[in-house]
Structure 1
Amino acid sequence: MKNASGESLKKLVAVVGPTGVGKTETGLFLAERFSGEIVNFDSVQVYKYLDIGTAKPSAFERSRVPHHLIDFLEPDEPFNAARFVELADQVIDEITARGHLPILVGGTGLYLKALLHGLFPVEVPEELRARLKERLEQEGLSLLYEELKKVDPEAAAKIHPHDGVRILRALEVYYATGRPFSALAREHAFASRRYLVLKVGLTLPREELYRRLEARVDRMLSEGLLEEVKELLARGYSPTLKPLQSIGYRHMIAYLQGKLSFEEAVRLMKRDTRHYAKRQLTWFRADPEIVWFQPNEKEQIAHKVQEFLV
């Protein structure tokens, strides 16, 4: 298959699925089996110093095979799907030039979709962008989210109330075009193909996945998640930064600010982790191209990858 320029599409493997299901281990297995290099598409693992709460691959795991787009941004640097696509395209070109297989591993479905199919372009006047940012500072994110629910309920239903970047983007598109972001996205339909990809989905029975997630939260706490958050705040990073509003970080910050007891912070962290995994599964289950496996079916996964590469 070729792109619009007549060039053959590069082959990629993407390992997808909910948080805690075992994507890191499977990605490493495939990279070692097929001379691959891993490209991260987790939107929080891109940030430095956020290690424990993001379940970032360990230094040993990263020494086994090359990893890209991980642990390279300051927590206060902006990052979005468009920037991810720009950097991922460069990295994928470099990996394939070395004769290696790019293996994308992560759980941020929008990033993967944007990379594989492109984003639809919308010109947003700088004046509009500045006005919305000013409103964010004056009125707060919750009011803007409520506004989005009125003008584009479909988009709002897919965006977390704490995700300021995506809330602002959806409002920017609406006020710049007069049409809901969700309607434009549906028309674009992500129909173009930028790469040939095998999507390997990992899943577990819900009860088993939830047990693993609860155990993982306990492990993060025992490994020093609270101390990691204290260190981030001591470095001067604002607790309102987007990565520090992600699961685990916002819960520990609420505890440190005296808004929650430690027990309640842990309970909510476990609950929100389960809810996040459920949302990820809903997103990925809607993609008919994903081939699903249990995480322990590694030889079956390897066989499927081998077929894809032939």
Structure 2
Amino acid sequence: MNSTAVSAESEKPRVVAVVGPTGVGKSALAIELAERFGGEVVNFDSVQVYRGLDIGTAKPGPEERSRVPHHLFDFLEPWEEFNAAAYAEKAQRVVREIVARGRLPVLAGGTGLYLKALLHGLFPVEVPREIREALRQRLEKAGLSALYAELSRVDPEAARRIHPHDRVRVLRALEVFYATGRPFSALAREHAFRESRFQALKIGLYLPREELYRRLEARVEEMLSRGLLEEVRGLLSRGLSPELKPLQSIGYRHMIAYLTGKLPWEEAVRLMKRDTRRYAKRQLTWFRADPEVHWFQPQEKEKIFRLVEKFLSS
């Protein structure tokens, strides 16, 4: 790399991103990093942006948020549309404002696409209206499961990373495939090498699988004991549709299935635990594919602190 390129890179704003599977301790580490290095936490979880979805998203509570400033939590109603492009636009402004105050943006969350959109932008694909309309008609007639099965055939890599209930991303991946003739995953992989808007240090947290799964099971039980069912009942009592995208996320859809008589309690809890494990596995697959992530176990804090110190002083 020549000196001009080095200079241009060094002038980019610096950010630290904490990534990894759900339940591994990302929020706690992000707060510690922000306290230690004069930072502010910026959320990149796609459900924590919604008001009223607190227990089921493991959103940082008032005590945690009082320790350092937190951004991009609780700014949308559950019925408001939101996506990775909108997140990137909003988060970019927030990050630059934090940097302008002389503080360090510490990004934390589990939605890998949101982080990628912020750091690299999204690749633009023009989808003809007839393709978009045809897919929506097929969605109405055949259902989402049929379209997800089709995505699994034409782009298995994308299907592994997209939840079968994520209508927006399933449709988007199929739109891109039929508009370009190429798998969405291949285009996304090529785009990942595009130059970043920021100098980013990515810290990944992991635990041995058995330990992580034990922690996730305990986390589900804690959410239930804290009143997840009552939280969901309250959301529905406001007249919110169970079909809203955030209410189809883990925990919320399981409690709705119980409340509407579709599942007995024991089965709803069992499926919530199972789907939480599966979600953690998909998150690990996503973040493990990024060669820029430095991986640590949560207890290796001193190693993490030294790495951040080196990053900020370089």
Q: TM-score, normalised by structure 1?
A: 0.94
Are 2:286 and 1:283 aligned? yes
2:100 pairs with one of 97, 100, 114: 97
Equivalenced residues, count = 310
Q: 1:72 to 1:2 in 2, by over 3 A?
A: farther
The answer as to whether partners of 1:3 and 1:193 remain within 8 angstroms in 2 is: no
For residues 109-159 of structure 1, the C-alpha deviation after alignment (integer angstroms, 9 at most, x for no partner) is: 111122222211111234543443343334321122123233333322321
| Matched residue, 1:215 | 218
Q: Which moved more, 1:119-128 or 1:74-83?
A: 119-128
SS for the counterpart of 2:66 is helix
Question: 1:153, 1:203 → 2: CA distance?
Answer: 25
For residues 283-307 of structure 1, the C-alpha deviation after alignment (integer angstroms, 9 at most, x for no partner) is: 2222222112221222221121111
Percent sequence identity is 72
For residues 184-216 of structure 1, the C-alpha deviation after alignment (integer angstroms, 9 at most, x for no partner) is: 223334332221111111111222211111111
| Matched residue, 2:276 | 273
The residue identity in structure 1 corresponding to 2:280 is: A
**Alpha-carbon offset, residue 276 of structure 1:** 1.2
In structure 1, stretches of 5+ residues that fail to align are none
The residue identity in structure 1 corresponding to 2:284 is: L
Cα RMSD after superposing both structures: 2.0
| Matched residue, 1:253 | 256
**Alpha-carbon offset, residue 2 of structure 1:** 5.9
| Matched residue, 1:35 | 38
| Matched residue, 2:198 | 195
| Matched residue, 1:177 | 180
Give matches, 1:53-132, under 5 Å. 53-132=56-135
Question: 1:223, 1:89 → 2: CA distance?
Answer: 34
Q: TM-score, normalised by structure 2?
A: 0.93
Question: 1:150, 1:4 → 2: CA distance?
Answer: 45
SS for the counterpart of 1:240 is coil
Are 2:244 and 1:241 aligned? yes
In structure 2, stretches of 5+ residues that fail to align are none
| Matched residue, 1:306 | 309
Are 2:224 and 1:226 aligned? no
| Matched residue, 1:166 | 169
The residue identity in structure 1 corresponding to 2:300 is: E
Question: 1:2, 1:25 → 2: CA distance?
Answer: 35
Question: 1:292, 1:152 → 2: CA distance?
Answer: 28
The answer as to whether partners of 2:123 and 2:188 remain within 8 angstroms in 1 is: yes
